[in-house]
């Protein structure tokens, strides 16, 4: 309900003349009401702030003291506290009258949706002691006027989007008690004036872009209990002046670029509880003085370049719960005194150069939960005392020189979840060390010398997801009971001496996605029931003695991307059911006894990149459909009985073909196919195989040419136009479907292209969703009739897309099903992708939050693969010319598919390739301003913009030019670009995102010749 007109007038007059009247609580009330009306989410605030009202209207004085979130002094006359945190307030401070609250002591507006700048008028709150504006969306600089708040004791500006330097005037806040700037975009150096804050207790400058060294004057902050400068770009050494901070209990300097030694004076900070200097460039020895920190609970020095030995005197730190020294260059032995750390829960020493034995004193650490010694030079046996660590969850001793059996005492560790003993010299009977481990999810025993059978009680491993015992001396058969470990996802028993048949009980492992049994002595056939392992993605049965035919049921493993059945004794023919393996990227059937022809159905494996059919008894002609397999990059058909012409495909040009007596072609020193013309009978027998695909292409080409002239005639001759409508189907080409039936079903499924079924519009076309009675769902792109009917119109966009899509096949390019053009409709039929365009997902906050970092990186790589294919694997090369987020579609698995080839350009080798402007503003390369020559570098630039957009969450805009100034200094701050709607990525993911960002920036250089090719981009992204 709105305010009465009379009250609104009073509110206006009071605010208008507020500087000329005596300040009282009425002025404060009207100031609050004025700010409330400026907030954007009134519906939300109407209930939460319903007590904020002018009623009763006849009151002589309006007091806000009873309003929600407002507190007044004892006389209930003046506002001293405003607490409106976590209410979802959405607005700015533009209409907040700070001067109306001279008595305000506390202002808490944290955890809201406030945006815009912090106005300088905030300096008028002269009595303010507590200010919390954290966890909002504030931007701009921190106003220097905050320095006027000389009563301030606590300041929270964390988790915003503030930038600029921290104003030196903050150093004048002599009574400040707490200062927080974490999770902003603050940049610049730490001002030395901070050293004036002698009463400061808490200082948080973490998660910003601060650079330079830590000021020596930080040592003046003698009241400081917490100093957090983590996750910045600070360099230089840690100042020794920090030893003056005698009250310090928390020192966080991690994730910077600090160098030099750890100053020994840190050992003087007797109150220190947490010390984290990890992920810097610190070098030198671990100071002995750190042993003086008797209250220390956390010591994290990992990921530096520290050297020397672990000081035995660190055993004095009885309160230590976490000791992280991993990823350094430490050497020497693990000191037995480490057994004195009775409170220790996490001990990480991996990736160093430690040698000697694992001390038996490790068994004294009864509170230990995580023990990690991997990637050192440790030797000797694993001490029996490890069995005393009954609370152990993670045990990693991989990549050392340990020998002997795994101690039986490990049976006591029923809390174990992850165990890695791989790459040692361990031997003995594995099953003696593992009994009832109901929590175990990961067990890696690979690359040892275990000589035994794998006779576990598999029912006791109810949560086991990964079991790797490869590269040992394991013998016996695969126990059928392994099927009882129902959660198993990865099973690797390769490179052992296992014999017998593959037990059919493996089909009970419904979660299995990786099965490796290669390099054993298995015989018999592959169980037909394997077709029920529908989650399987990786299957390697190579180098065994398996025989019989390859079961057709393998065609049911629709998620397979790797299949290796090589070096066995499989006979008969290659199953035609392989055509269903559309995600398979590598297939190896070499060194078997396979016979008959290569089935043409294999060409339907559209993701196939590597194919090895060598050393078999395959005969007959090679199917010409291999020419359509655009993803195929390498093939080996050597040592078979194949004959006839080699398909015109890059894969065959780079492949292996020796050992066949009847092949011909124009490369690899093969004889010319003219030498085989005398074999007329053979030719007649195979004319269908060769002639029909060629005939089909000729018919399609003639149809497209006729289709073009038909439109020209249709425009010139209305009578012909009317007569052409007698044929309702016009030109129609459909892959794998009946053209007439599909045309009728599409028009029916879209209600004759009714608005109800439209899912997108743009330019001269609209897109419709067509769900057919068969269950097939298509996206139908219909072009406007004006594009074909007007005399001056040019249907080249339609023709371009049809011509391009008929030539290309790639897993990251939208699948083409056909086209139609007649007097009524002209449309293109493609696959329907459930998640729609990349633009749609990035603009929807809910969808963007579900679009994870790994999925985003895969999308970027997918687009890169598609462009590399267009530029380097198509003949002639194709330039898309309109790469943008609206033209990248995602399927249900977030796999990227490039679409919209209406502006595509075929690059002819002996042509200037001049062209008109095409593309989307914001993605178009800068050279379009002075040249109209189409090159692949068009797409390279657009890809760079797109990659940044996916990482940032929205189009980078002017950020593209801004980022080049960072490149000149070789500083790339990923945190400035990341989409803040997603959680902060792990360090590993952050490094990958940084690499992608660096590649994207290379694509955006102004000189097109200096940009990498898309093939080079793909190689860089794969590193």
Positions marked catalytic: 882
Distance in Å from the first CA to the final CA of the chain: 62
Q: In sequence order, which residues have a C-beta less than 8 Å from that of residue 19 and are 6 or more positions away? A: 99
- Cis-peptide, bond into residue 705, ω within 30° of zero: no
* Secondary element (H or E) of residue 524: strand 521-524
CA distance 676 to 684: 12
Quote the DSSP letter at residue 366.
Answer: T
CA distance 893 to 566: 30
CA distance 698 to 92: 66
* Secondary element (H or E) of residue 994: helix 987-1003
CA distance 70 to 84: 8
Do the Cβ atoms of 39 and 91 come closer than 8 Å?
A: yes
**CA angle in degrees (0–180, nearest 5) for 817-821-825:** 105
Q: What is the DSSP string of 592-632?
A: S---SPPPGGGGG-TT--EEE--SS--EEEPPGGGGG-TT-
Residue 125 CA to chain centroid, in angstroms? 45
What is the SS3 string spanning 187-237?
A: EEECCHHHHHCCCCCEEECCCCEEEECCCHHHHHCCCCCEEECCCCEECCC
Q: Residue 574's closest CA among 617, 544, 610? A: 617
Q: In sequence order, which residues have a C-beta less than 8 Å from that of residue 466 and are 6 or more positions away? A: 441, 442, 443, 444, 488, 489, 490
CA distance 626 to 236: 60
> Residue 100: is it exposed, middle or buried by C-beta count within 10 angstroms (0-12/13-18/19+)?
buried
* Secondary element (H or E) of residue 31: helix 25-38
**b or e along 753-780 (b: 16 or more beta carbons within 10 Å of the residue's beta carbon)?**
beeebbeeeeebbbbbbbeeeeeeebbb
Quote the DSSP letter at residue 138.
Answer: E
CA distance 568 to 582: 24
Do the Cβ atoms of 812 and 895 come closer than 8 Å?
A: yes
Its sign, for the CA torsion 630, 633, 638, 640, is negative
* Secondary element (H or E) of residue 859: helix 853-872
Q: Which residues are paired to 564 by β-bridges?
A: 540, 588
User: Helix 959-968 to helix 987-1003 angle, to the nearest 10 degrees?
Assistant: 100
CA distance 881 to 468: 48
Q: Residue 200's closest CA among 237, 245, 165? A: 245
Q: Are strands 777-783 and 816-821 parallel, antiparallel or unpaired?
A: unpaired
The single residue listed with the structure tokens 């598919």 is 897
Do the Cβ atoms of 555 and 530 come closer than 8 Å?
A: no
Q: In sequence order, which residues have a C-beta less than 8 Å from that of residue 828 and are 6 or more positions away? A: 780, 781, 783, 798, 801, 802, 805, 816, 818, 819
């Amino acid at each position: 309900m709105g305010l009465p007109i009379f009250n609104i007038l009073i509110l206006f007059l009071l605010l208008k003349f507020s500087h000329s009247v005596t300040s009282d609580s009425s002025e404060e009330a009207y100031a609050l009401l004025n700010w409330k009306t400026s907030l954007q989410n009134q519906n939300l605030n109407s209930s939460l702030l319903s007590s904020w009202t002018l009623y009763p209207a006849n009151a002589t004085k309006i007091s806000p003291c009873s309003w929600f979130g407002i507190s007044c002094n004892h006389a209930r006359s003046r506002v001293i506290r405003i607490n409106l945190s976590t209410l979802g307030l959405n607005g700015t401070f533009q209409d907040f009258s700070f001067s109306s609250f001279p008595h305000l002591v506390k202002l808490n507006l944290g955890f809201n949706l406030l945006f815009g700048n912090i106005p300088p008028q905030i300096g008028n709150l002269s009595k303010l002691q507590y200010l919390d504006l954290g966890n909002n969306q504030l931007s701009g600089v921190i106003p220097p006027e905050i320095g006027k708040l000389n009563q301030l004791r606590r300041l929270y500006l964390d988790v915003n989007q503030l930038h600029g330097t921290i104003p030196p005037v903050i150093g004048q806040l002599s009574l400040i008690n707490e200062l927080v700037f974490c999770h902003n975009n603050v940049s610049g150096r730490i001002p030395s004036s901070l050293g004036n804050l002698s009463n400061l207790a808490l200082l948080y400058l973490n998660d910003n872009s601060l650079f330079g060294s830590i000021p020596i004057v930080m040592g003046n902050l003698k009241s400081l209990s917490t100093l957090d400068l983590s996750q910045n770009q600070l360099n230089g050494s840690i100042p020794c002046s920090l030893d003056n901070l005698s009250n310090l209990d928390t020192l966080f300097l991690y994730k910077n670029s600090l160098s030099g030694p750890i100053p020994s004076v840190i050992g003087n900070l007797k109150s220190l509880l947490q010390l984290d200097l990890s992920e810097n460039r610190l070098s030198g020895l671990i100071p002995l003085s750190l042993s003086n920190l008797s209250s220390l609970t956390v010591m994290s020095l990992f990921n530096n370049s520290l050297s020397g030995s672990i000081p035995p005197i660190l055993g004095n730190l009885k309160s230590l719960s976490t000791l992280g020294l991993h990823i350094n260059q430490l050497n020497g032995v693990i000191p037995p005194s480490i057994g004195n750390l009775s409170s220790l829960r996490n001990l990480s020493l991996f990736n160093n150069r430690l040698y000697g034995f694992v001390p038996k004193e490790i068994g004294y650490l009864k509170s230990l939960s995580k023990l990690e010694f991997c990637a050192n030079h440790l030797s000797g046996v694993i001490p029996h005392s490890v069995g005393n660590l009954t609370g152990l969850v993670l045990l990693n001793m991989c990549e050392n020189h340990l020998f002997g059996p795994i101690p039986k005492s490990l049976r006591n560790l029923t809390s174990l979840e992850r165990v890695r003993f791989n790459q040692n010299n361990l031997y003995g009977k594995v099953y003696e060390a593992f009994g009832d481990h109901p929590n175990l999810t990961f067990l890696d025993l690979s690359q040892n010398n275990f000589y035994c059978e794998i006779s576990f009680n598999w029912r006791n491993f109810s949560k086991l997801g990964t079991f790797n015992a490869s590269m040992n001396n394991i013998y016996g058969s695969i126990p059928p009971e392994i099927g009882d470990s129902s959660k198993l996802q990865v099973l690797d028993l390769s490179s052992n001496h296992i014999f017998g048949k593959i037990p059919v009980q493996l089909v009970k492992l419904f979660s299995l996605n990786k099965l490796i049994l290669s390099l054993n002595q298995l015989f018999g056939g592959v169980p037909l029931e394997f077709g029920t392992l529908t989650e399987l993605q990786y299957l390697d049965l190579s180098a065994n003695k398996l025989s019989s035919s390859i079961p057709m049921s393998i065609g049911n493993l629709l998620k397979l991307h790797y299949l290796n059945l090589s070096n066995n004794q499989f006979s008969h023919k290659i199953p035609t059911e392989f055509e269903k393996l559309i995600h398979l990227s590598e297939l190896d059937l070499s060194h078997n006894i396979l016979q008959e022809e290569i089935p043409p159905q294999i060409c339907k494996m559209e993701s196939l990149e590597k194919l090895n059919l060598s050393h078999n008894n395959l005969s007959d002609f090679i199917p010409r459909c291999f020419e359509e397999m655009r993803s195929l990059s390498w093939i080996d058909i050597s040592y078979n009985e194949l004959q006839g012409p080699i398909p015109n495909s890059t894969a065959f040009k780079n492949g292996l073909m020796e050992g066949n007596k009847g092949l011909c072609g124009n490369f690899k020193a093969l004889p010319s196919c003219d030498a085989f013309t005398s074999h007329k009978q053979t030719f007649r027998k195979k004319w269908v195989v060769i002639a029909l695909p060629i005939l089909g292409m000729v018919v399609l080409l003639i149809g497209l040419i006729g289709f073009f002239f038909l439109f020209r005639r249709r425009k010139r001759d209305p009578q012909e136009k009317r007569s052409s409508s007698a044929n309702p189907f016009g030109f129609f080409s459909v892959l794998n479907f009946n053209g007439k039936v599909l045309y009728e079903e599409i028009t029916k499924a879209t209600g004759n292209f009714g608005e109800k079924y439209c899912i997108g519009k743009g330019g001269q076309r609209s897109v419709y969703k067509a769900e057919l009675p068969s269950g097939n769902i298509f996206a139908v792109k219909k072009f406007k009739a004006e594009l074909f009917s007007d005399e001056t119109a040019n249907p080249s966009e339609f023709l371009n897309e049809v011509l391009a899509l008929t030539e290309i096949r790639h897993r990251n390019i939208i699948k083409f099903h056909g086209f139609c053009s007649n007097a009524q409709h002209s449309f293109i039929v493609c696959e329907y992708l459930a998640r729609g365009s990349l633009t749609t997902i990035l603009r929807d906050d809910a969808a963007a939050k579900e679009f994870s970092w790994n999925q985003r990186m895969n999308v970027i790589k997918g687009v890169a693969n598609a462009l590399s294919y267009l530029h380097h694997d198509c003949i002639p090369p194709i330039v898309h010319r309109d790469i943008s987020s609206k033209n990248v579609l995602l399927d249900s698995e977030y796999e990227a598919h490039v679409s919209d080839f209406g502006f595509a350009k075929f690059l002819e080798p002996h042509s200037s390739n001049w062209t008109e402007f095409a593309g989307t503003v914001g993605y178009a390369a800068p050279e379009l301003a002075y040249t109209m020559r189409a090159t692949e570098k068009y797409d390279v630039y657009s890809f760079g913009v797109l990659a940044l957009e996916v990482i940032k969450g929205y189009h980078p805009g002017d950020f593209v030019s801004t980022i080049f100034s960072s490149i000149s200094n070789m500083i790339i701050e990923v945190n400035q670009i990341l989409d803040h709607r997603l959680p902060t990525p792990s360090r590993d993911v952050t490094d990958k995102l940084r690499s992608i960002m660096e590649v994207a920036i290379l694509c955006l250089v102004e000189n097109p010749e200096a940009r990498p090719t898309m093939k080079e981009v793909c190689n860089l992204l794969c590193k």
